Amino acid sequence: MEEHQSQELVIVKPEVRLLAISRGVNGESAQEVIELAARNCYQSAKAMTPESNPRFLRSLLVRGHESVIEHASATFLIAGGSRAFTHEQVRHRMASYSQQSQRYVGEAGFKYIVPPEIARNPEAAKRYEAYIESARRLYAELQEIGFKNEDARFVLPNAVESRLVATFNFRELRHIFDLRLSPNAQWEIRSIVAEMLKIMQKEAPIIFEEFILDEDNCTAVRAGTLVPCSEAQSKVRRIAKEFPRIFNSLSEPENFPPLSHIARCYNPDCRKVKAEVGI
């Protein structure tokens, strides 16, 4: 492949763009919509103030009351991902997808993704490129002799770029970030989902603040998992003594990780602390 073709046809970095996000009819943010929905459960809308949102949302997350965050959603345009990526992504079924069709869209000039490990190996990269170009030629030949896209597409490799519009509620996004930003997840889906997380941490910081992103490796862990059991237990007990209601302390962001740790931990001692403080 000539150099100018490589620049046009090889995907260097995927594009992830936010197309839409939940807003209330009066312009409320997605996080305010979640608070309104949750307060409906307790008929406590009168207690809602501009300052109440962070504490209230953190208390929902610590208690595991995550059904209410399904009322907010985000829609992304994802371009520059391979068909291998989209096959993985659409396994997350609590979502809506609209994907570029290979039946109605001709793929003679398709762009493609090169796995980094292959790109770093000159011999493998050469053979990979030769295979891609042979698939491109065969696709074009099938079209030339009269076959429709829907039949010619059977020779296209998983490396072909696809474009996806995807809508997720916030609860499903948290689930996706847990699974797909694990070091065990595949490199391409990690790189794309990491971009989604960066966007959501700007748009809904309280809902997604506990994910600590390692941009270099496109991995993330929850902040609570970084807090040792003993530290979490002692801090939560201390908070419980200092405040009449433990969740008042969630106005202070530094208190969220230990509370989140105890809420998620299966250590018997942490579960005991959880019961003591009423989480």
What is the C-alpha separation between 11 and 113, in angstroms, rounded? 5
Count of residues in the chain: 279
pLDDT at 3 exceeding the cut of 50: no
**Res 6: pLDDT:** 52
* E strand spans, the chain: 10-11, 15-21, 73-82, 95-99, 112-113, 161-169, 211-214, 219-222
Q: pLDDT tens, 268-277? A: 999 999 998 8
- Over residues 31-41, the mean pLDDT reads 95
pLDDT of residue 240: 87
Cα torsion 159, 164, 166, 171 to 10°: value is 20
pLDDT of residue 232 exceeding 70, the answer is yes
The H-or-E segment that residue 198 falls in is: helix 187-203
Cβ count within 10 A of residue 161: 21
Q: Average pLDDT, stretch 230-250?
A: 86
Q: Give the global pTM.
A: 0.92
**Torsional sign, CA 62, 203, 248, 225:** positive
pLDDT at residue 245 in the model: 72
Label the pairing between strands 10-11 and 15-21. unpaired
Which two tokens mark 103? 């039946």
- Exactly one of 55, 136, 180, 190 is catalytic; name it: 180
Q: Which of 268, 238, 100 is nearest to 259 (CA)?
A: 238
Q: Does the active-site annotation cover 180? A: yes
Give me the pLDDT at residue 247, please.
77
Least Cα distance to 38 among 51, 27, 25, 52 occurs for: 52
> Tell me, what's the pLDDT at 8?
65
- pLDDT exceeds 80 at position 226: yes
Cα distances (angstroms) measured from residue 160 to each of 9, 79, 111, 138: 10, 11, 6, 14
Residues 136-186 have pLDDT tens digits of: 999 999 999 999 999 999 999 999 999 999 999 999 999 999 999 999 999
- Tens-place pLDDT, residues 45-71: 898 988 899 999 999 999 999 999 999
pLDDT tens digits along 181-215: 999 999 999 999 999 999 999 999 999 999 999 99
CA dist., res. 104 & res. 218, Å (int):
34
Q: CA 255, CA 167: separation in Å to the nearest integer?
A: 32
